[in-house]
Amino acid sequence: KTQHKTEGKIRYYHYHNTITTREEPCRQFVRQSMRNNVTWVGGIPYVYDATMKALAPSIKKFESELMGSELASIQQ
């Protein structure tokens, strides 16, 4: 608990198809038409943001060029 009144102001962003954590699977997907809307789940606001998804191919290319065959051997 903080001394600041942040309830409802901090948003948790989850980027589908970009960053995955096996311990935290996706439970609800947001349709493309809802990009500008807030989806509330358990009192937590979720907002669709495709920024990371758009950057993923560039990041993957950079990592492939930098690490080459070492990257291919890492279990995803």
pLDDT of residue 41: 78
Banded pLDDT at 59 (limits 50, 70, 90): confident
Q: Are 8 and 40 in contact (CB under 8 A)?
A: no
pLDDT per residue over 37-52, tens digit each?
777 778 777 777 777 7
- Looking at residues 40-65, what average pLDDT do you find? 79
Count of other CB atoms within 10 angstroms of residue 14: 18
Considering only CA atoms, give the Rg of the chain.
16
66 pLDDT more than 60: yes
Instruction: Look at the pTM and tell me if it is higher than 0.75.
Output: no
21: pLDDT strictly greater than 70: no
